[in-house]
Amino acid sequence: GIQVEQSPPDLILQEGANSTLRCNFSDSVNNLQWFHQNPWGQLINLFYIPSGTKQNGRLSATTVATERYSLLYISSSQTTDSGVYFCAVGDSGGGADGLTFGKGTHLIIQP
């Protein structure tokens, strides 16, 4: 099956700093999503981005499908940005559409 690697696994930053999270995947995809998991375990949709670039406020994401990676940018970090960020992909081959998740990046924003 498709492999998803996220880096870095852990990131500690001061409030106001910028950060870049990376997601590498091993095969072509028909779905790529970035999620933020809150302390209660809920997965919050950040971006649906199988290709191209999107921006939403202080967050933006870019997926280069031909090179099999995606980047999530967080600017002017706030303490509320803390949590685990997951990249998840859907394999474009076969009939099943379940997402394969990476292990996540644990982000801590210190005041």
Binding site for other proteins (CB under 8 A): 4, 30-31, 33, 35, 40-43, 45, 48, 86, 88, 90, 95-104
Residue 24 Cβ vs other proteins, minimum distance, rounded to whole Å: 14
- Select 8 or 16, whichever has its Cβ closest to other proteins: 8
Contacts for 99 with CB less than 8 Å, ≥ 6 apart: 31, 33, 88, 89, 90
Residue 15 Cβ vs other proteins, minimum distance, rounded to whole Å: 26
Residue 77 Cβ vs other proteins, minimum distance, rounded to whole Å: 22
- Select 77 or 100, whichever has its Cβ closest to other proteins: 100
Residues 24, 15: Cα–Cα separation, whole Å: 27
Residues 13, 111: Cα–Cα separation, whole Å: 9
- Select 40 or 111, whichever has its Cβ closest to other proteins: 40
DSSP structure string for 16-67: T--EEEEEEESS-EEEEEEEEE-TTSPEEEEEE-SSEEEEETTEEEEEEGGG
Residue 111 Cβ vs other proteins, minimum distance, rounded to whole Å: 25
Pair of tokens at residue 9: 């696994």
- Select 20 or 30, whichever has its Cβ closest to other proteins: 30
